Amino acid sequence: MKAEQFPQEIRPYLMPSHAGRLSYRCLGCGSEYGIEKLLYICPECQQVLLIYDQNFARLKNISGALWQQIFDYRKMLNIDALKGIYRYHEFIGPVLPLDTVIYLGEGHTPLIAANQALQEKVGVRFYFKNDGQNPSASFKDRGMASALSYINFMVQKGYLSDVLAICASTGDTSAAAALYASYLKPQVKSAVLLPHKKVTPQQLSQPLGSGAAVFEIPGVFDDCMKVVEALSESYNVALLNSKNAWRILGQESYSYEISQDLAYDLSHTALVVPIGNAGNITAVMSGFLKFYDAGIINCLPKIVGVQSKHANPVYRYYLEPDTAKRKFIPVTVKSSVAQAAMIGNPVSMPRVIYLVQRYNEVAGCQKTFFVEVSEQDIMDWEIAANRNGHIACTHGGESLAGLLAAKAQGVIDDQDIVVLDSTAHALKFAGFQEMYFEQNFPADYNISPRQDLINAPLYVHPTDLDHVPAPGKPLKGEAFERFVSRTAEEIAVRLNLKKYTASK
Ligand SMILES: *Cc1c(COP(=O)(O)O)cnc(C)c1O
Ligand SMILES: [Zn+2]
């Protein structure tokens, strides 16, 4: 629809104004810094930062109801820059001119209702939000669209040139970073650091395909992260890990989309989110807080953070009920099928601690919860979901297992509608499904495949067939007819098919 075809009262708001005044704010000492410099940590106290809009109050001059209409009408606009996460421009990047926005098709991923069989099995009404349907097949694209749009803005303003964007990754961050950076070629180049043999072949193929410099180093993600931090402290590089607060801003779009998809009524809504480096849950809480503050949603949903028992530092931290006694202790991770969340020392932990407290304070009751799940449950529930029409990755399985754990603890009640984050596409983690089906998981995963969930291809070659086709060697005539009919018969027998009999 063209701008002049929208209702009169919406038209002045369709195109975002750029009246935001963003600054970095330190979570340690509270210092504020301008955004004309790329900052990842506070120069004073080294603590992580979040980005604030000093003019946020202006957004409250527009009623929540009008904001809802603005976002709903923007769905019908044909302007690239407003098609993705920047539909919520005023809340995500209110200083970025639209011609600096990078849009590669991210955001607005579908919310898919679980079918009746699966809902009955789980005993809760729930949806998967398929964030694997983002361009690089994970939710990381939301944050990269924001971080790279900002870098593009800085380049256009002349604040930056010849950028080398760099990140450590459990696989998906590097895929997203390399993709978005390659779009800004030649002004932006990218390099990614991966833990050797700790990303899947599909994930490794992504930054290679985008033309990034790919480095594999010994150890796990936490080790890669330290190397990248060392690089960013001593060299002129742009860090694209979620330490970069622009990533968090972009990932807030996840909460805005859920708000909009549920018609802004979030009473009796709960979300389940897997936690790795904790950037995602930070953004999810921050997003809902902003929409609630602006009167766009009527209440804050419950948020359940889920971790594998093999990488559970955040869960452990919140096991202590007494806030004053809580102490964060990094853990040494063990092998996990939720490999993108296999992180023992999450960079965003200070943000989580700060936002969990605020979230519950603003809600007026406890609305944040943390659960842990076994590797076995992650795999079993991923496969169960996908046998019912979903395309959940292992982390989607982790979300579903987390929903069951939360339900068992009484955190989720009968009236709740739950949204599970399937953070990546199933295909990225197909290797774990393969190990499950072939029953060859290494012992340290602690996974015993369930017979009723295993699947394998059946090779059909009737023993009485002497000739079968081969690539480049087709069969002809009688031999081919015999091959077709015998093979069809054999499949019919295995499927127990009844012969079609024509009625006379
Ligand atoms: C990055 C990632 C996570 C973990 O998100 P954090 O923001 O690091 O907590 C979970 N699932 C997938 C597929 C990811 O790529
Ligand atoms: Zn500080």
Q: Is residue 417 classed as helix, strand or coil in its secondary structure?
A: strand
For the chain, give the percent of residues with pLDDT over 90. 95
Instruction: Look up the pTM and report it.
Output: 0.96
Contacts of 334 (CB under 8 A, 6+ apart): 310, 311, 444
**Ligand approaching nearest to the C-alpha of 206:** 1
Residue whose CA is closest, atom 2 of ligand 1?
340
For residue 2, name the pLDDT band (cuts at 50, 70, 90): confident
Cβ(423) – ligand 1 distance below 6 Å? yes
Angle at alpha carbon of residue 87, lines to 306 and 173, rounded to 5°: 45
For residue 504, name the pLDDT band (cuts at 50, 70, 90): low
**CATH topology classification for 139-250:** Rossmann fold (3.40.50)
Distance between Cα 354 and ligand 2 center (Å): 14
Distance between Cα 33 and ligand 2 center (Å): 10
Residue whose CA is closest, atom 5 of ligand 1?
276
pLDDT, tens only, 34-71: 999 889 999 999 999 999 999 999 999 999 999 999 99
For residue 503, name the pLDDT band (cuts at 50, 70, 90): low
Scan for tokens 């098919």, then name that residue.
Answer: 497
In this structure, how many other beta carbons lie within 10 angstroms of the beta carbon of residue 483? Answer: 18
Distance between Cα 464 and ligand 1 center (Å): 52
Please state, in angstroms and rounded to a whole number, the distance separating the CA atoms of residues 219 and 225.
Answer: 11
User: How far is C-alpha 266 from the chain's CA centre?
Assistant: 21
Cβ(340) – ligand 1 distance below 6 Å? yes
Atom of ligand 1 nearest to the CA of 429: 13
Strand bridging mode 22-26 / 32-34: antiparallel
Please state, in angstroms and rounded to a whole number, the distance separating the CA atoms of residues 447 and 438.
Answer: 12
Distance between Cα 41 and ligand 2 center (Å): 8
Distance between Cα 143 and ligand 1 center (Å): 11
pLDDT, tens only, 160-198: 999 999 999 999 999 999 999 999 999 999 999 999 998
pLDDT, tens only, 224-264: 999 999 998 889 899 999 999 999 999 999 999 999 999 99
Whole-number pLDDT of residue 500: 85
Angle at alpha carbon of residue 15, lines to 14 and 17, rounded to 5°: 120
The pLDDT of 265-289, averaged and rounded, is: 98
Q: CATH 3.40.50.1100 in the chain, residues?
A: 111-132+252-453, 139-250
The pLDDT of 134-161, averaged and rounded, is: 96
Cβ(311) – ligand 1 distance below 6 Å? no
State which CATH number among 3.40.50.300, 3.60.15.10, 3.40.50.1100, 3.10.180.10 fits the domain covering 111-132+252-453: 3.40.50.1100
Nearest in space to 370 (alpha carbons), one of 288, 274, 285, 289: 274
Whole-number pLDDT of residue 233: 86
